[in-house]
């Protein structure tokens, strides 16, 4: 190569913005370009005529670089994108891609041209991007709501694991398909189209948009949708929260509160009626107080039975047992109770409990339970869930020992109880004891 050719090559090397080092066969630096000096904060004088490994107080004595120059280049003419990472004293860690080529010059000795591509920043940016992507993926998978990532055409780019589990689908059945085509078209929901095609293009986001739909295999689901438009990525994030059970719970709570209000109102009406009836039948304050408190206690016992019942209903047999044993009756000795298993609604349970309370109280004060007689209680239900027939019969007591109508709470049994039960009642005094028959229909939900 002539001197003019050499100068021409040197000018090219000097012009190139990539750091370049030209080495002799003994790995002595013949020349470096300006880009090398700027990149590694040295001057040409500090490098030329020195062995490469001695540069920067030995900082270029890098094992990977030695291998490239001593082993790789001894076997081949050129090497491309040989990755080397090294921590330089003043520059910090640098990541470089090295391209090396051996140039044969028989008359002047071989030369090695070493081009250095510093990819430290690009690697850092790539790691940061990959880290952010990994963070985003893990964040999406950690969210318990179902998430869909859609492109502008509403095709599914990806979804998180909760979505797949929630709607029992796989990534293969989901990704790359339009959202309306998912699940054999089950996601072609008018409300969903409304929010994705009308609201989202006009607004940057939407929150708590509620959608109800019947999904095959899943039943009717209530979903809360939240969406965000990512304009710089041409993507849409759709968050889907299944609130089916919460809505069911809320509806149950509403029904419960309505029932509670209705029940409290009924109880207050019953208390008011008891107070009026008791007042009309008692001439003294003490008499009124004793009778009234006894009847209120009966209401309380009926409420206790309701509270203890998981189905919010009360067995008729329990009402009979509680009221009779409250006045000291002993089952099998002073009373018997026989009838099919039958649960009453709260309203019917309260009404019948008042009737049984009046009968048991008077039997204990004036009737069979006072004189050593017996009480037989039976009930039956007509076929096909018709009327309930309740029968109370006392025996073993002389009629002369009975205090008539007033003492037996006849007003409650004859008028109030039939009205509350929407039925009929019949109260009779026999020569050997009292008898009461009450007939009432079962509500349809019973």
Q: Do 203 and 188 touch, CB atoms closer than 8 A?
A: no
* CA pair distance 446, 438, nearest whole angstrom: 18
CA 10 vs CA 18, 27, 28, 292: distances in Å: 14, 18, 17, 118
* CA pair distance 209, 391, nearest whole angstrom: 58
Which SS3 state, helix, strand or coil, does residue 178 take? strand
Maximum pairwise Cα distance, the chain: 151
- Phi, psi angle pair for 369, to nearest 5°: -75, -20
Token pair of 253 as six digits: 């709570």
| CATH of the domain spanning 248-441 | 3.30.565.10
- Phi, psi angle pair for 332, to nearest 5°: 85, -15
Give the DSSP H or E segment for 172: helix 171-174
Q: What is the DSSP string of 275-323?
A: HHHHHHT-SSHHHHHHHHHHHHHHHHHHHHHHHH-TTS-EEHHHHHHHH
Q: Do 322 and 301 touch, CB atoms closer than 8 A?
A: yes
* CA pair distance 227, 207, nearest whole angstrom: 7
Domain with residues 3-118, CATH architecture: 2-Layer Sandwich (3.30)
CA 150 vs CA 21, 195, 236: distances in Å: 50, 14, 5
Q: Which of 330, 326, 423 is nearest to 379 (CA)?
A: 423
What residue segments make up the domains of the chain, in order of their start?
3-118, 136-242, 248-441
Q: Which of 380, 362, 370, 352 is nearest to 435 (CA)?
A: 362
Token pair of 196 as six digits: 């994705």
CA 429 vs CA 165, 276, 338, 393, 440: distances in Å: 70, 25, 22, 10, 21
CA 418 vs CA 151, 198, 200, 275: distances in Å: 69, 60, 62, 18
* The predicted structure's pLDDT at residue 317: 92
Quick check: do 3-118 and 248-441 share a fold?
no
Q: Do 427 and 420 touch, CB atoms closer than 8 A?
A: no
Average pLDDT, the chain: 79
- Domain 136-242 of CATH type 3.30.450.20: yes
Q: What is the DSSP string of 59-101?
A: TT--HHHHIIIIIIHHH-SEEEEEEEEEEETTTEEEEEEEEEE
From first to last of its 446 residues, the chain has per-residue pLDDT tens of 455 555 666 677 777 788 988 888 888 888 888 888 888 888 888 888 888 888 877 788 888 888 888 776 777 778 888 888 888 877 788 888 888 888 877 666 778 888 888 888 888 888 777 777 666 666 666 567 888 888 888 899 888 888 888 888 888 888 898 888 887 777 888 888 888 888 888 888 888 888 888 877 778 888 888 888 887 778 888 888 888 888 888 877 776 676 566 556 656 665 675 677 567 667 788 878 877 787 677 667 766 766 666 556 888 998 898 888 777 777 888 899 999 999 888 778 878 887 888 888 788 777 888 888 999 999 999 987 689 999 999 999 886 644 544 444 566 677 767 778 889 999 888 888 899 999 999 876 54
What is the value of pTM for the model shown?
Answer: 0.42
* The predicted structure's pLDDT at residue 376: 96
Residue 79 bridge partners (DSSP): 100
Q: Is the alpha carbon torsion for 267, 272, 276, 278 positive or negative?
A: positive
* CA pair distance 248, 237, nearest whole angstrom: 27
Q: Go through 309-323 and write b for each residue having 16 or more CB atoms within 10 A of its CB, e for each that does not.
A: beeebbebbbbbbbb
Q: Where are the alpha helices (DSSP H) in 382-433?
A: 410-411, 417-421
Q: Which of 317, 307, 319 is nearest to 350 (CA)?
A: 319
Residue 205 bridge partners (DSSP): 228
* CA pair distance 266, 271, nearest whole angstrom: 9
Cβ-in-10-Å burial (0-12, 13-18, 19+) of 80 comes to exposed
* CA pair distance 210, 212, nearest whole angstrom: 7
């Amino acid at each position: 190569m002539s001197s003019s050719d050499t100068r021409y090559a040197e000018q090219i090397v000097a012009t190139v913005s990539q750091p370049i080092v030209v080495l002799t066969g003994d790995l002595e630096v013949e020349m470096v370009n300006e880009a090398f000096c700027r990149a590694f904060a040295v001057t040409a004088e500090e490098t030329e005529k020195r062995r490469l490994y001695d540069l920067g107080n030995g900082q270029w004595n890098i094992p990977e670089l030695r291998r490239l120059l001593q082993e790789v280049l001894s076997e081949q003419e050129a090497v491309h994108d040989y990755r080397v990472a090294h921590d330089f004293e003043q520059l910090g860690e640098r990541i470089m891609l090295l391209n090396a080529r051996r140039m044969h010059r028989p008359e002047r000795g071989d030369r090695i041209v070493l081009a250095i591509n510093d990819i430290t920043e690009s690697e850092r940016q790539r790691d940061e991007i990959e880290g952010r992507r990994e963070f985003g993926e893990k964040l999406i998978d950690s969210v318990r709501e179902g998430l869909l990532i859609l492109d502008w055409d509403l095709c599914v780019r990806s979804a998180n694991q909760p979505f797949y589990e929630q709607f029992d689908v796989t990534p293969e059945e989901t990704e790359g398909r339009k959202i309306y085509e998912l699940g054999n078209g089950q996601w072609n929901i008018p409300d969903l189209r409304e929010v994705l095609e009308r609201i989202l293009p006009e607004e940057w986001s939407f929150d708590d948009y509620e959608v109800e739909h019947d999904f095959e295999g899943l039943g009717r689901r209530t979903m809360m949708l939240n969406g965000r438009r990512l304009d710089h990525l041409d993507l849409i994030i759709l968050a889907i929260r299944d609130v089916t059970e919460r809505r069911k719970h809320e509806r149950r709570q509403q029904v419960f509160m309505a029932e509670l209000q209705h029940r409290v109102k009924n109880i207050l009406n019953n208390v008011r009626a008891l107070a009026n009836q008791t007042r009309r039948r008692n001439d003294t304050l003490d008499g009124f107080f004793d009778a009234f408190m006894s009847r209120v206690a009966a209401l309380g016992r009926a409420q206790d039975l309701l509270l203890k019942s998981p189905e919010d209903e009360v067995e008729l047999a329990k009402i009979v047992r509680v009221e009779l044993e409250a006045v000291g009756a002993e089952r099998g000795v002073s009373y018997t109770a026989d009838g099919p298993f039958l649960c009453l609604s709260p309203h019917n349970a309260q009404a019948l409990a008042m009737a049984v309370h009046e009968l048991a109280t008077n039997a204990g004060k004036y009737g069979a339970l006072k004189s050593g007689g017996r009480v037989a209680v039976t009930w039956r239900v007509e076929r096909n869930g018709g009327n309930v027939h309740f029968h109370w019969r006392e025996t073993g007591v002389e009629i002369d020992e009975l205090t008539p109508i007033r003492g037996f709470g006849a007003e409650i049994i004859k008028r109030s109880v039939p009205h509350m039960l929407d039925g009929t009642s019949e109260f009779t005094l026999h020569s050997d004891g009292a008898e009461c028959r009450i007939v009432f229909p079962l509500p349809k939900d019973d």
